[in-house]
Amino acid sequence: MATIKDVAARAGVSLGTASRVLSGSSATSPESRARVQAAAAELAYVAHGPARSLRRSRTDVLGLLVSDIRNPFFSELAHAAERDALRAGYSVLLANANEDEAQADEYLGIFASQRIDGLLLSPQGPVTPRLSALVASGMPVVLLNRHADGLDAPLFETDNEQGVGLVLDWLQRHGHRDVAYVGGPASISTGAERLAAYVAGRAEHGITTSDAFVEAGDFLPDGAAAAMTRILDRGVRPTAVFGANGPTTLGAVRALHARLGREAASAIDVISFDDLDWFDFTTPRISAVRNDAASIGRLGVRGLIDLIDGRPVESQRVAMELVDRSAA
Amino acid sequence: MATIKDVAARAGVSLGTASRVLSGSSATSPESRARVQAAAAELAYVAHGPARSLRRSRTDVLGLLVSDIRNPFFSELAHAAERDALRAGYSVLLANANEDEAQADEYLGIFASQRIDGLLLSPQGPVTPRLSALVASGMPVVLLNRHADGLDAPLFETDNEQGVGLVLDWLQRHGHRDVAYVGGPASISTGAERLAAYVAGRAEHGITTSDAFVEAGDFLPDGAAAAMTRILDRGVRPTAVFGANGPTTLGAVRALHARLGREAASAIDVISFDDLDWFDFTTPRISAVRNDAASIGRLGVRGLIDLIDGRPVESQRVAMELVDRSAA
DNA sequence: CTGTTAGCGCATTCAA
DNA sequence: TTGAATGCGCTAACAG
């Protein structure tokens, strides 16, 4: 591969001039510029990123660590974040924790070694030593959708309380009393907050306060199916099920079908925190509260870049919207 | 951040010795080793990836360019590939072309600049100048699921012909004659191959050869919905619809519902190339041919690493399996 | 506006 | 087994 030295030689200028032309860092004569650009094109020159990073002590790479890339919420978020980062001149190193703390920590090590310029993080619960070391070293960090105790970073998240409020209203409007709640791990802020909001509001919405109807999964389909099954195994028969995120609702619906059969399952209303592609096609349709994953991704990228550039950044909550499919 | 120089100073050894201990490249005395490791731990030393890459002229980073990260096939594939790469000591830079050629090309430029050690590619059709430059420069490349004309690289793909054969058999078994085929772009090998296999086999499976029933989308939901709508607008009424990939089937089902209403839509059988989470919950259920995206990802990573290490690599086809939900 | 020079952090060569 | 020295490719500081 051609180096900048080759380009300079071919253009008949010094290395410094070639560098200035190619990185546009300072003024150059039109003549040099033309010669250097021609030489670069002829040699198919591509700047050596690692060398440039070493010299400039920045990489123009952002790290994005999501909890579960197969969750459409996060794949949508990652997609939007990546696009916006690219537009701002950053690449994104995407890592998937798969809702696993150890795996998340491993990726933080890779990020540290790659010397990313900033981190977009959807944390898996507690702050690990590696994470606090990263923060202590001055790494700009923004949190996506979940906060981590003791980590003081701007947070871009859905408004869990408001979202759960929309669900509670919907349940009440439909006269549901025996509602099953399939949640996420208490160790994850979204899991804890959504549960807290549900528990706090259920009584005044006419919903049973029996904890026989409440179980926590792991925010993945299999764990949620197991949780749903545990509820059914108690012999209780909910008239509605509330899944605390997208994969959770998928797992819950699967369990309903597996355990009760298609017929009986279709007598149960389902409502979901996070909207999925296929909720229009089930019987009955599945309603949901939806937030714009793409917005959160974009807010996160913008916030992180502001942080990198030393501008102040405020946390932000994104309101949720009810997608009511019960009428149709 | 601490550098290896700091570590050496603290351990009271030379820079060279510290390097040898930390990279395990050659023998060191137990004593030096202990002192260096202790010093590194105390300083929370993390090797500077770019510097190391510059010196070793390799980055231990693989590039993975997928067509559409929101397609579960690719998010599953990416997830598996990433895990296996990590286990083999590589990180993965994941990029999403969003079925767009220009965006794919832009990422190839970033990959080139980052000096990735190898490329996993799900191409968007023709070979761009940038891609051929990359290949010409000796970059190891493997193709995932789609081939690119004139690019001679190992290919790991689903067996399109066999998969379409399974679908044709299923359609015939169910006595469908008026079958709508919603395909992908002809410029993408999977789009072309699946269509070719369908067209070649439909007559002998008792399926209409009228091209009024055939339309191409873009392998994304919106494009597929438009294609489905175009078919319906011709006034033809299929008894079954065949979607040529996952997002295509989603779009087709959406269009059926939007155009015909829930009731009429439920009279139409749907079968899909690629299986999705929710096919069990529709009325009627949606059958599919399924291939293991994770396997393809793993095969790709293994093949690419073999290529990097100079071992010979063979292309491989992964057989598809029918998931027949029509009986239940 | 340009050429020369130094050095980012690291792995590796050469002597000892 | 170790220390000293070199250079990977690049940008930035400096002098002209």
CA–CA dist A43, A7 (Å, integer): 7
Spell out the alpha helix ranges (H) of B234-292.
246-265
Mean pLDDT over the full length of chain A = 95
Q: Collect all residues of chain B within an 8 Å Cβ-Cβ radius of residue A48.
A: 54, 113, 115
CA–CA dist A116, A261 (Å, integer): 50
Does any strand D atom come closer than 7 Å to the Cβ of B23? no
Picking from A47, A79, A113, the nearest residue to B49 by CB comes out as A113
- Taking alpha carbons only, the member of A89, A22, A5, A69 closest to residue B94 is A69
Spacing of A145 CA from C10 C1' in Å: 38
Contact yes or no for A79 and B70 at CB 8 A = yes
CA–CA dist B141, B122 (Å, integer): 10
3-class SS shares of chain B: helix, strand, coil, % to 5? 50, 15, 35
More confident residue, A50 or A147: A50
The mean pLDDT of B97-102, rounded to a whole number, is 86
Q: Collect all residues of chain B within an 8 Å Cβ-Cβ radius of residue A255.
A: none
Contacts of B295 (CB under 8 A, 6+ apart): B80, B318
What pLDDT score does A175 carry? 97
What pLDDT score does A125 carry? 82
Spacing of B56 CA from C12 C1' in Å: 10
- Taking alpha carbons only, the member of A21, A5, A286, A47 closest to residue B109 is A47
Q: Collect all residues of chain A within an 8 Å Cβ-Cβ radius of residue B96.
A: 78-79, 82
DSSP element (H, E) containing A11: helix A4-11
B155-158 and A118-121 as β-strands: parallel, antiparallel, unpaired?
A: unpaired
Residue B9 CB-density burial (10 A; 0-12 exposed, 13-18 middle, 19+ buried): middle
B280 vs chain A: nearest CA distance in angstroms? 9
The residue type found at A70 is R
What pLDDT score does B278 carry? 98
CA–CA dist A313, A302 (Å, integer): 9
What pLDDT score does A126 carry? 86
CB A107 within 8 A of CB A97: yes
Nucleic chain D: which protein residues 41-100 of A have CB below 7 A from it?
45, 47-48, 51-52, 54-56
Contact yes or no for B79 and A96 at CB 8 A = yes
Q: Whose C1' is closest to the CA of A25: which nucleotide?
A: D11
Res. A27 pLDDT band, cuts 50 70 90 = confident
DSSP state of A219: S
Contacts of B61 (CB under 8 A, 6+ apart): A114, B90, B91, B92, B93, B114, B115, B116, B117
From residue A222, how far is each of A94, A186, A225, A254 by CA, in Å? Answer: 24, 17, 5, 9
- Taking alpha carbons only, the member of B270, B79, B11 closest to residue A71 is B79
Nucleotides of strand D within 7 Å of the protein's CB atoms: 1-5, 7-13
**Span of A116-120, A239-243, B62-66, B68-72 with lowest mean pLDDT:** B68-72
Q: Does A227 touch chain B (CB under 8 A)?
A: no
**What is the SS3 assignment for A67?**
coil
Q: Does B86 touch chain A (CB under 8 A)?
A: yes
Q: Does B264 touch chain A (CB under 8 A)?
A: no
Query: Looking at the predicted structure, is the pLDDT value of residue B82 above 60?
Result: yes
The mean pLDDT of B203-222, rounded to a whole number, is 97
CB A320 within 8 A of CB A158: yes
Does any strand D atom come closer than 7 Å to the Cβ of A8? no
Q: Does A277 touch chain B (CB under 8 A)?
A: yes
Contact yes or no for A257 and B280 at CB 8 A = yes
Q: Which two tokens stand for residue B328?
A: 């239940």
CA–CA dist A144, A124 (Å, integer): 11
Spacing of B28 CA from D2 C1' in Å: 9
Contacts of B17 (CB under 8 A, 6+ apart): B8, B11, B28, B32, B36
Q: Does A47 touch chain B (CB under 8 A)?
A: yes
How many other C-beta atoms can be found within 10 angstroms of the C-beta atom of residue A135?
19
CA–CA dist A312, B294 (Å, integer): 42
CB A44 within 8 A of CB A29: no
CB B248 within 8 A of CB B224: yes
The mean pLDDT of A296-314, rounded to a whole number, is 97
Spacing of B30 CA from C12 C1' in Å: 21
Percent of chain B with pLDDT over 90: 88
CA–CA dist B131, A132 (Å, integer): 40
CA–CA dist A182, A241 (Å, integer): 7
**What is the SS3 assignment for B102?**
helix
Instruction: Please say whether the dihedral angle defined by the alpha carbons of residues B6, B10, B11 and B15, taken in this order, is positive or negative.
Output: positive
B204 vs chain A: nearest CA distance in angstroms? 33
Q: Does B46 touch chain A (CB under 8 A)?
A: yes
Contact yes or no for A91 and B93 at CB 8 A = yes
How many other C-beta atoms can be found within 10 angstroms of the C-beta atom of residue A8?
22
How many other C-beta atoms can be found within 10 angstroms of the C-beta atom of residue B288?
27
CB A221 within 8 A of CB A272: no
Q: Does A110 touch chain B (CB under 8 A)?
A: yes
From residue B15, how far is each of A113, A306, B7, B26 by CA, in Å? Answer: 19, 37, 8, 14
3-class SS shares of chain A: helix, strand, coil, % to 5? 50, 15, 35
Q: What is the pLDDT of residues B296-310, one digit of tens each?
A: 999 999 999 999 999
CB B171 within 8 A of CB B110: no
Nucleotides of strand C within 7 Å of the protein's CB atoms: 1-13
Nucleic chain C: which protein residues 49-78 of B have CB below 7 A from it?
51-52, 54-56
Residue B51 backbone phi and psi in degrees, to 5? -65, -45
Mean pLDDT over the full length of chain B = 95
**Residue ranges of A 165-204 with Cβ closer than 8 A to chain B:** none
Q: Does B49 touch chain A (CB under 8 A)?
A: yes
CB B178 within 8 A of CB B238: yes
Q: Whose C1' is closest to the CA of B8: which nucleotide?
A: D3
Q: Does A19 touch chain B (CB under 8 A)?
A: no
Res. B9 pLDDT band, cuts 50 70 90 = very high
B313 vs chain A: nearest CA distance in angstroms? 25
Q: What is the pLDDT of residues A93-105, one digit of tens each?
A: 988 888 888 889 9
Q: Does A113 touch chain B (CB under 8 A)?
A: yes
Query: Looking at the predicted structure, is the pLDDT value of residue B328 above 70?
Result: no
B118-121 and B61-66 as β-strands: parallel, antiparallel, unpaired?
A: parallel
Picking from A44, A95, A276, the nearest residue to B133 by CB comes out as A44
Instruction: Please say whether the dihedral angle defined by the alpha carbons of residues A324, A262, B179 and B189, taken in this order, is positive or negative.
Output: positive
